[in-house]
A and B are shown apart, each in its own frame.
Chain A
């Protein structure tokens, strides 16, 4: 199956800092989503971004499908940004809805 690799695995920041999270995938995709898992375990849908760039407040994401990677940018980090960030993809070869998840980036933001 398709491989999804996220880096870095862990990231520790002070409040106000910026960060970039990366997601590499091993095959063509027709869906890529970024999620934030909060301390209560909920998966919050951040972006649906199979290609291009999107922005939502302090967060933005870019997917370069032809080079098989996506980046999530977090600017002016806040303590509430802490949690695990997951990238998930759906292979272009599949019409099913199944997503393949990376192992996540654990982000800790200190005040």
Chain B
């Protein structure tokens, strides 16, 4: 089954404790990205990757890191989480080019206390 898998689904952590949210897709998509969703602000893109070892900033990259060492995986790293990073996070993937459908992971609800 074609899917994007995120882990964990829920996470409560403390300020400053490094964490990684994993994302994996099995559709051989070149393009992968991370979004965060906040009340009143909608979904905003954090980082994206066009292929292995090619990443770039989205609208709200501060406080986040990403890596793309393999085509299927695109982890989101919070080196020193802060309470303002409490949010609902989504990973998405698609082929590059026109007329391509995007697929989203199940979401990760992160709380930083």
| Chain B contact surface mostly | strand
CB neighbours of B48 from chain A (8 A):
96-98
What is the distance, in angstroms, from A8's C-beta to the closest C-beta of chain B? 16
A26 to B106, CA, bound (A): 29
With a cutoff of 8 Å between Cβ atoms, the chain A residues found around residue B90 in the complex are 43
The tally of CB-CB contacts under 8 A between chains A and B is 59
Give 14 A-B pairs besides A31-B99, A101-B43, A103-B42 with Cβ atoms closer than 8 angstroms: A33-B102, A41-B88, A42-B106, A45-B101, A50-B99, A86-B43, A88-B43, A90-B100, A97-B94, A97-B95, A98-B45, A98-B48, A99-B92, A101-B42
Task: Report A75-111 CB contacts with B as 1/0, cut-off 8 Å.
Answer: 0000000000010101010011111011110000000
